[in-house]
Amino acid sequence: MATHFFIKPLPDRLNGKIFARVRCSNPSIDIKLSTCQVLPLAVWEQVRATRDLVLMEQYPRQFSILERMERQINFVLNNALPDEDLRWRICQLHRRILATADQSVSVGPGRHDNSFMEYYARFLQEARQGRARNIGLNKGKTLGVRTIVNYQQGYRWLQEFQATDWGGRGIGFDEVDKAFFDQYTHFLCHRRIGTGKYKGAEGCSQNTIALRVNEIKSILRRAHEEDGITTNTAYLNKAIRVQDVDVDSVVLSRKELEAMEAVDLSAYPASYAWARDIFMVGVWTAQRVSDYGRIVPDDIKHYRRSLEVTDSRGRRTVDVVEGAYISIRQKKTGKLVSIPVNGQLQQILDRYGNRLPHMWTHRLNRCIKQIARLAGITEKVKVTTIRGGKTSCTYVEKCELIHSHTARKTGATLMYNEGVDVYDIMAITGHSSVDMLKKYVKADSGDTACRIAAKYRYFK
């Protein structure tokens, strides 16, 4: 276990910023921390090679901070308790050392340069004015309201991190590197949740951490590729990644869907019947609620085609095929998809004249959970949650996990279980890769085995 320092050149190639690397084998940690100290590269190389005291005396404040940081961190490493959160303790110590350093010390741009946060603030202002556009998926399209809200929350959390774990100093573009992401991720793993379902809990969920990290990488990419105001390419570092996990995800079987359709809702407000029909449209179309909730008559297309088919005796005949499909452009991706209309979907569309009633998503979710409970979908489902880097498991009634997006996952899974080719499913759902589709398909192992056995003579 040890602490050592290394230098990263600044854009002028004359000076460099010094970082501390803290490594320990038990527990296994490898942390990079910014010291906010800037020295000429030539001075650093000579001091490292010869320990030239004369040169060190020319930069007494910088080297005194490095010496203090090395001494105190090594003391913590050598005297840590077995069950202690060593990473957290080292990060807190690092913060205190920088926060108590003499404010008059010239510690380089790290203390005063706030270019990253200033750019982030300008981006938010442009986004609220409708002038910021996507640079990745669906490039050129104006950012959605939900996306802007997420960015705003991410900015507030960065300000919180800046005031606490970052010692109150500015965040410049050059400082947003692997060490910065490690420290920010650690902050999120221990952040106290102030509102919502998990109010009072310590640590953000893994998916929230992944969202916050990806937001920062997106801002860096925008500043580098679109505006050309920074040379920082940390967003390209594959090591800077938090894998999101699929949590609270369930799908419904045909039997469960039939049970929901059989529920008598005559004693409930009409909105419950609307919610059930809208949800079922989501199942049979396998679309997002932002798409299946806005189907109108112009989206319904009818076709009549003559197809040449070969019967069992090898004779060729002409068969007339007719039906309908829904053609919509997905709101999130901008893709144009066509969904064949089956019998169940046609009945619902006929009921409303091909124009579904409008319902807010939160109300739709509330009604669907109640209908599922009335249908007896109350089996206990194991839910695994990763929060603050810790995994916990609880058991929740399945009906409580059903929401609008369950319809899309259920539709994709039903098609897969009934033998629809994955590329045909992708043409309907709009997924661009099989890997993305896999996140939606929740095939039961028994269903998969039956489907494989029926497909191949080997298992006969």
User: Which token pair is 266?
Assistant: 């005559």
Calpha distance 272→367 (Å, rounded): 6
Residue position matching structure tokens 């920082």: 232
Lowest mean pLDDT among 115-119, 188-192, 410-414: 188-192
Q: What is the pLDDT averaged over residues 349-357?
A: 91
Write the pLDDT tens digit of every residue in 75-92. 888 777 665 677 777 877
pLDDT higher than 60, residue 110: no
Q: Which fold has domain 254-459?
A: hpI Integrase; Chain A (1.10.443)
Residue 232: its pLDDT value, please?
83
Residue 17: its pLDDT value, please?
85
User: Which token pair is 259?
Assistant: 């049970």
Calpha distance 416→452 (Å, rounded): 11
Calpha distance 65→104 (Å, rounded): 13
Write the pLDDT tens digit of every residue in 29-47. 888 887 878 888 888 888 8
**Residue of 108 and 344 predicted with greater confidence:** 344
> Taking the domains of the chain in order of start, what are their residue ranges?
1-109, 113-244, 254-459
Residue 448: its pLDDT value, please?
62
pLDDT band for position 245 (50/70/90)?
low
**Residue of 361 and 394 predicted with greater confidence:** 361
**Residue of 363 and 303 predicted with greater confidence:** 363
User: Phi-psi category of 130—alpha, beta or left, where left has phi over 0 and alpha has psi -120 to 50?
Assistant: left
**Residue of 25 and 186 predicted with greater confidence:** 186
pLDDT higher than 70, residue 323: yes
pLDDT band for position 106 (50/70/90)?
very low
The per-residue pLDDT of the chain, averaged, comes to 83
Calpha distance 306→327 (Å, rounded): 21
Residue 444: its pLDDT value, please?
60
Q: What is the pLDDT averaged over residues 349-376?
A: 93
CB contact at 8 A, 375 and 262: yes
pLDDT higher than 70, residue 450: no
Residue 109: its pLDDT value, please?
43
Which amino acid, one-letter code, is at 406? T
**Residue of 87 and 457 predicted with greater confidence:** 87
- pTM as predicted: 0.64
Write the pLDDT tens digit of every residue in 179-201. 888 889 888 988 887 766 667 77
Write the pLDDT tens digit of every residue in 256-312. 999 999 999 999 999 999 999 999 999 999 999 889 888 889 999 888 877 777 777
Calpha distance 177→174 (Å, rounded): 7
Residue 375: its pLDDT value, please?
95
Calpha distance 28→86 (Å, rounded): 10
Calpha distance 7→1 (Å, rounded): 20
